Amino acid sequence: MKDIPNSTEARDIKNLMHPYTNARKLETEGPLVIESGEGIYVTDNNGNRYLEAMSGLWSAGLGFSEKRLVAAATRQMEKLPFYHIFSMRSHGPAVDLAEKLVNLAPVPMSKAFFTNSGSEANDTAVKMLWYRAHALGTPEKKKVISRLRGYHGVTVVAASMTGLPYNHTSFGLPLPGFLHTGSPHYWRDAEPGESEADFVARRARELEELILAEGPETIAAFIGEPVNGGGGVIVPPQGYWQAIQAVLDKYDILLIADEVICGFGRTGNMFGTETFGMKPDMMTLSKQITSSYQPFSALLVNERVFAPIADESNRIGTFGHGYTGGGHPVGAAVALETLRIIEEDKLLDHVGDVGAHMQAGLAALTGHPLVGEHRGVGLIAALELVTDKETKAGLDKPGALGGIAAAKMQANGVISRNMNDALAFCPPMIITHAEVDDMLARTKRSLDETAAEIGM
């Protein structure tokens, strides 16, 4: 299709620059053009149907073509298609959603601030930290610690917090003042003979050593995903977040929970913060907040964060930050309807049930010669692919093995995604046991075909 003049593929290659894409590879291979979606499936412009095992980008929690969300957007479009919340203006959907989120938060929160994406929410969190530092008379307290293999977005600040090489290389990032400590991946990062408890203690000790080396008076916050998503679905060991929290509390450092992937049911609770016993001062939310039917995100802050910011805005005359689309009435209306569906359809219970089924099925695949580790919680998981289980090695180039497997999955009618050699699964939360079984069978077939291709 890419060689047919005026085809969608040819026009794409000619005119559209894609994110997270090898631009020269796109020119030779062309894009996969998705035309429609229904339930957990999407269909391309050649009529091929795929089980969307990644919910798009970890985000279409209610699947595709949910009529209640379409209707909510339509009703709001007809009533108030746009208004802003700058300069003391407001509208009902933004107020209703802010109230809902503050009350829904698993730890006390004071206010919701609306943005358009997870990257913007995380970027805004840092700007608030810097503003707060000046308000408190501690302008040097601005550094942020994140983790290797953490993912927090792609704006300049959010990408600086992200701990993945491809978000830094050739961009000149990270910016000064953004620090990284070790990931919580026990299987990959533990020392020989190290128990999970000892690994957790070492990670907490390394964090404390970093804080002391930089000076606690210069560290504003630590940011982390309850489960690392883009870094390969890394589920922290038991006690990890409690150990990290203890270090942060010791040095008066705030905790930001990046709930962009984990929020709104993905881990089996409304928030990953609940699943892992975190006590954040700030929470960033996006993706499943609208099932990605509308671009929308939010930042929740507690009173400890809000009060100094409010006082500083009074001193200066304004809080000089915001986005035209932040709190968009249509997005807010869709978010409210998404939350109603999650609650009315008891999707948290469903995720607990069908998620356990998916995790058991994926765990069974660890017997496959290519699978080194299964990890996951709720309806998010990954298979770490290896060519040698003893050394945990893959092919010569990191990500090559995962790339082959992901291509086999697509050929077998399942859209997955590989983060290096981790094959990820994050299907819509409406998936059934039978659909999970179908996904697992296609995954097994794809692994067999991958093994055959590389000569295993």
Mean pLDDT of the chain: 97
Three-state SS for the chain is CCCCCCCHHHHHHHHCCCCCCCHHHHHHHCCCCEEEEEECEEEECCCCEEEECCHHHHCCCCCECCHHHHHHHHHHHHHCCCCCCCCCCCCHHHHHHHHHHHHHCCCCCCEEEEECCHHHHHHHHHHHHHHHHHHCCCCCCCEEEEECCCCCCCCHHHHHHCCCHHHCCCCCCCCCCEEEECCCCHHHHCCCCCCHHHHHHHHHHHHHHHHHHHCHHHEEEEEECCCECCCCCECCCCCHHHHHHHHHHHCCCEEEEECCCCCCCCCCCCCHHHHHCCCCCEEEECHHHCCCCCCCEEEEECHHHHHHHHHHHHHHCCCCCCCCCCCCHHHHHHHHHHHHHHHHCCHHHHHHHHHHHHHHHHHHHHHCCCEEEEEEECCEEEEEECCECCCCECCCCCCHHHHHHHHHHHHCCEECEEECCEEEECCCCCCCHHHHHHHHHHHHHHHHHHHHHCCC
Q: Which two tokens stand for residue 275?
A: 């699943």
Dihedrals phi, psi of 42, to nearest 5 degrees: -130, 155
Give the model's pLDDT for residue 100.
98
Contacts of 30 (CB under 8 A, 6+ apart): 1, 2, 9, 10, 12, 13
Instruction: Tell me how far apart the alpha carbons of residues 443 and 420 are, in angstroms, rounded to a whole number.
Output: 17
Contact 424, 382 (CB under 8 A): yes
Distance linking the first and last C-alpha atoms of the chain: 33
- Count CB-CB contacts under 10 A for residue 50: 21
CATH number given to 32-65+347-453: 3.90.1150.10
Give the model's pLDDT for residue 4.
85
Contact 152, 162 (CB under 8 A): yes
Looking at residues 95-121, what average pLDDT do you find?
98
The domain spans of the chain are: 32-65+347-453, 69-344
Instruction: Tell me how far apart the alpha carbons of residues 312 and 317 are, in angstroms, rounded to a whole number.
Output: 8
CATH of 69-344, one of 3.40.640.10, 3.40.50.300, 3.20.20.70, 3.40.50.360: 3.40.640.10
Dihedrals phi, psi of 374, to nearest 5 degrees: -110, 140
Give the model's pLDDT for residue 88.
97
The pLDDT of residue 94 is above 90: yes
295 by Cβ neighbours in 10 Å (0-12 / 13-18 / 19+) ranks as: middle
Q: Which two tokens stand for residue 360?
A: 């058991």
Q: How would residue 1 be classed by pLDDT, with cut points 50, 70 and 90? A: confident
Looking at residues 389-406, what average pLDDT do you find?
94
- Model confidence over 26-39: pLDDT tens digits? 999 999 999 999 99
The pLDDT of residue 381 is above 80: yes
Contacts of 153 (CB under 8 A, 6+ apart): 117, 118, 119, 120, 121, 122, 123, 159, 161, 162, 260
- Model confidence over 110-161: pLDDT tens digits? 999 999 999 999 999 999 999 999 999 999 999 999 999 999 999 999 999 9
Q: Calculate the CA 270 to chain-centre distance.
A: 14
- Model confidence over 7-31: pLDDT tens digits? 999 999 999 999 999 999 999 999 9
- Model confidence over 210-233: pLDDT tens digits? 999 999 999 999 999 999 999 999
Give the model's pLDDT for residue 320.
97
Give the model's pLDDT for residue 456.
83
Q: How would residue 240 be classed by pLDDT, with cut points 50, 70 and 90? A: very high
Looking at residues 167-179, what average pLDDT do you find?
98
Contact 281, 305 (CB under 8 A): yes
- Model confidence over 247-284: pLDDT tens digits? 999 999 999 999 999 999 999 999 999 999 999 999 99
Q: Which two tokens stand for residue 317?
A: 């005359």
Looking at residues 359-387, what average pLDDT do you find?
98
Parallel, antiparallel or unpaired: strands 111-115 and 143-147: unpaired
Contact 350, 429 (CB under 8 A): yes
The edge-to-edge listing of strands for the beta sheet with 49-52 is: 34-38, 41-44, 49-52, 414-415
Looking at residues 426-437, what average pLDDT do you find?
98
Q: Which two tokens stand for residue 372?
A: 């080194």
Q: Calculate the CA 70 to chain-centre distance.
A: 24
Contact 224, 150 (CB under 8 A): yes
Q: Which two tokens stand for residue 388?
A: 């040698």
Looking at residues 416-438, what average pLDDT do you find?
97
